[in-house]
Amino acid sequence: MRTYVKEYFFLALGALIYAFAIEGFLIPSHIIDGGVTGVSMIMNTLTSKPLGVFIVGINIPFILLALQKLGKRFVFSTFFSILVFASGVTIFSQLFHGHCVIENLELFLVAIFGGLILGAGVGLIIRNGASVDGTEILAIYVTKKISFSVGEIIMFINLFIFTVAGFVYDWQHALYSIITYFIAYKTMDVVIEGLNESKSVFVITDYSNEIGKDIMEKMDVSVTYIDAQGGYSGINKRIVYCVVSRLQIPKLKEITKNIDPRAFIAIENVYEVEGTRVKKKKI
């Protein structure tokens, strides 16, 4: 129960932060977001009907699609986030009355700070297992039908939305919308991955014991040995596996190359690390 309460607290917090960025920065400056929210903002401008109605209404078909493909828990968390987001947009629109929270703020600064706040809110939602934009769900579904990746499909959708925004507003505001989206995207990565970004490292070498021992002693990092076999040679090998911070990568490479200059090193991003480290036993 504590886990669920914590999860939905951060989902609600992320949705409200997202709503604050939309109503407090973007809408007063005629800058839009991508995805369903961007479409909803354009429809709001063209019809003057409440933004929250469009956010919920346009997202419903995608939520029904997700119910078939992504499971009930994801759908419920996503629907909760969208409802809180739509409610937050309605509340903040009454508070700000179409004015930016900081008066006379230049468009470039609106794009930067609006993107930062927006990205932080959406990042919190994604980090806690939900979404607030139906285009991501659509992209996951469509990618199984065509040869484009999820990221490419989302990019195509957003390019179309920003192009439409150029006709509805003007091209200057459309370009600022792209800047905002880019900043938000990068901020989401930081929130999802964490400031202390981790890397998983695989070292394939004939000197696994020596390299593993040096990594543990000189870097105070635990390692795991994985038995493997070379595809071409058929020779049995032991892979050294560990998780380190981004700043520890140069030291790990130095240790590895000092022992085996021909070692094969593969490094991947790690989005989340849980569990406790097994420490060396004292005899």
Across the chain, mean pLDDT equals 85
- Write 157-163 long-range contacts (CB < 8 A, 24+): 157/34, 157/35, 158/34, 158/35, 158/38, 161/32, 161/34, 161/35, 161/38, 161/39, 161/42, 162/32, 162/34, 162/38
281 pLDDT more than 50 = no
271 pLDDT more than 70 = no
198-270, CATH topology level: Alpha-Beta Plaits (3.30.70)
Q: What local confidence, expressed as pLDDT, does residue 283 receive?
A: 38
Q: What local confidence, expressed as pLDDT, does residue 248 receive?
A: 84
What is the per-residue pLDDT across 54-102, written as a single tens digit (0 to 9) for each?
999 999 988 888 777 667 788 888 899 999 999 999 999 998 877 888 8
Confidence band for 220, pLDDT divided at 50, 70 and 90: confident
DSSP element (H, E) containing 101: none
Q: What local confidence, expressed as pLDDT, does residue 77 receive?
A: 87
How far is Cα 81 from Cα 87, in angstroms, rounded to an integer? 10
What is the per-residue pLDDT across 152-188, written as a single tens digit (0 to 9) for each?
777 888 889 899 989 988 899 889 999 998 998 888 8
* Integer CA distances (angstroms), 33 to 10, 197, 281, in order: 21, 27, 53
How far is Cα 41 from Cα 32, in angstroms, rounded to an integer? 7
Provide the token pair at 128. 């806690």
Q: Which of 23-27, 68-72, 249-253, 255-259 has the lowest mean pLDDT?
A: 68-72
121 pLDDT more than 60 = yes
How far is Cα 168 from Cα 117, in angstroms, rounded to an integer? 25
Report whether 25 contacts 113 (CB < 8 A): yes
147 pLDDT more than 50 = yes
Confidence band for 246, pLDDT divided at 50, 70 and 90: confident
- Return the higher-pLDDT residue of 62 and 242: 242
Confidence band for 112, pLDDT divided at 50, 70 and 90: very high
What is the per-residue pLDDT across 4-50, written as a single tens digit (0 to 9) for each?
888 889 999 999 999 999 999 999 889 988 889 989 999 998 998 89
How far is Cα 166 from Cα 172, in angstroms, rounded to an integer? 8
Neighbouring CB atoms inside 10 A of 264's CB total 12
Boundaries of every domain in the chain: 2-193, 198-270
* Integer CA distances (angstroms), 245 to 176, 190, 242, 278, in order: 34, 14, 10, 17
- Return the higher-pLDDT residue of 250 and 58: 58
Q: What percent of the chain has pLDDT over 70?
A: 90
